[in-house]
Amino acid sequence: MADAVAFDWICARLEQDTSLDRLESRGTVRLALKAAGLEARSVTPEQLKVVIDKVLAAELTTRGIDDAAGLCTRLATALGNERSSLAGNAAETPDAVFSRLGGS
Amino acid sequence: MGSWVWVGFVAFFVVALVVGVRVLLLARRTRELPELLMGIGVLGIGPVGFGLMVVAYELKDAPELKPVLTACALAAVSSGVLAKFVFNWRVYHPSARLPMWVTAAAAAALLGSFLFSGLVHGFTDVSSLSPQSLVRTALQVGCLLWGAGESFVYFTKMRRRVRLGLADPVIANRFLMWAIGAFAAGWGTAVGTVTQIVTGADSLRSDWVMASSSLHGLVAAIAIALAFIPPGFYVRYIRTRAQQG
């Protein structure tokens, strides 16, 4: 299954704004998503915002990126501006199914 | 062995009946496939399939009804097992090829087992140690343990999301409870069947097999109830514990 639009967007921004190449940026984001219990194929812009705010800065710092916190603030702002265009192809997730199964 | 041994069976029967009907009613409202599959799976393997099987087994007064009841029971169990295979594939790996092929192979084996029971034995052989029955039981154990594993793996992801405020702790707990419930049901079936193979004992006449199956049924009943019809105090406990980190 293809990765979510939001995932491709954040990877492209990291590649553009840092010294990380395509493989490194995608790997970094995948690790951040994994730490948050999320998957590249189904991450939504809302979930990605939380990952940027709470997880990504530490991953970027580990990879020697200067001012990771400032970069994450800029990424979060940019994500907020483009949120509507990034909500697209996220597949139905097991948690959506189990949420319905409980009647909630 | 006393009548207490039926406690687990009765608990499982009642919980599976309530949850299965509830989920099927939900499926009628939402028109979504996962709800339908879960409903068929829970009802087919549990109250309908197992219930009819026990009735067919114990039927003494009307032997002519035995093949009819056995056919209905086998159809229900086979439908339930297939529904669980499809659920595991469509919910957890909708675009993966291996789960699709595993599900297709299971469907073929279930159909073969059902036809063999009907065409060769006329649905009169209710022995759980016949080859066609062992195939069906293996698939039943397989779909339940597969579902339990998938649900537990997803629970570990949901637990991380809960810590970041990205998921509802009650839904995360639902994955854990379903994992425990499906595992208990699958493992209990496996233990009972292997014990029968080793000892040659009839499942409904062996105290230890009955006790083991009943205990696993009780665990499954409690876990499935907490997953899909949790009482208010349990929901409050889960939310409070999540807030405390």
Shortest distance between the Cα of B60 and any Cα of chain A, in A, equals 40
What's residue A85's pLDDT? 79
What angle is formed at CA B146 by the lines to CA B226 and CA B220, rounded to 5 degrees?
Answer: 30
At residue A4, what are phi and psi to the nearest 5 degrees?
-70, 155
Mean pLDDT over each residue of chain B, to the nearest integer: 91
Query: Mutating which of A97, A99, A104 best tests the B interface, going by the most B Cβ atoms within 10 A?
Result: A97
Taking an 8 Å cut-off on Cβ atoms, the answer to whether B157 and A37 are in contact is yes
B227 interaction partners in chain A (CB closer than 8 Å) = 102
Taking an 8 Å cut-off on Cβ atoms, the answer to whether A100 and B30 are in contact is yes
Q: Do residues B37 and B24 lie in contact, with contact meaning Cβ atoms separated by under 8 Å?
A: no
Q: Locate all alpha helices (DSSP H) within chain B, ordered by sequence.
A: 6-30, 33-43, 51-58, 66-87, 97-119, 131-163, 169-199, 207-228, 232-243
Residue A88 has pLDDT above 70, yes or no: no
- What value does the mean pLDDT take over residues B107-133? 85
Residue B70 has pLDDT above 80, yes or no: yes
Closest CA to B192 of B216, B223, B221: B216
Percent of chain B with pLDDT over 90: 69
Residue A84's pLDDT band (boundaries 50, 70, 90)? confident
* Predicted ipTM beyond 0.85: yes
Q: How many CA atoms lie within 13 A of A8 on its CB side?
A: 11
Residue A37's pLDDT band (boundaries 50, 70, 90)? very high
Taking an 8 Å cut-off on Cβ atoms, the answer to whether A35 and B160 are in contact is yes
Taking an 8 Å cut-off on Cβ atoms, the answer to whether B26 and A101 are in contact is yes
Tokens of B21: 């009907």
What's residue B190's pLDDT? 93
Q: Which of residues B205 and B81 earns the better pLDDT score?
A: B81
Q: Name residue, tokens 């629970």.
A: B155
Residue B40 has pLDDT above 60, yes or no: yes
Q: Do residues A11 and A22 lie in contact, with contact meaning Cβ atoms separated by under 8 Å?
A: yes
Q: Do residues B82 and B43 lie in contact, with contact meaning Cβ atoms separated by under 8 Å?
A: no
- What is the number of residues in chain A? 104
Q: Name residue, tokens 């003494």.
A: B60
Closest CA to B73 of B18, B120, B113: B113
Q: Which helix (H) or strand (E) holds A45?
A: helix A45-51
What's residue A91's pLDDT? 63
What's residue B59's pLDDT? 76
Residue B120's pLDDT band (boundaries 50, 70, 90)? confident
Q: Which of residues B237 and B121 earns the better pLDDT score?
A: B237
What's residue A89's pLDDT? 57
- What value does the mean pLDDT take over residues B46-70? 84
B171 interaction partners in chain A (CB closer than 8 Å) = 95, 98-99, 102, 104
Dump pLDDT digits (tens) for B44-55: 999 999 888 888
Selecting from B23, B171, B230 the residue whose C-beta is nearest the C-beta of A99 gives B171
Selecting from A50, A98, A104 the residue whose C-beta is nearest the C-beta of B164 gives A50
- What value does the mean pLDDT take over residues B118-126? 78
What's residue B244's pLDDT? 85
At residue B206, what are phi and psi to the nearest 5 degrees?
-100, 120
Q: E strands of A55-96, at which residues?
A: none
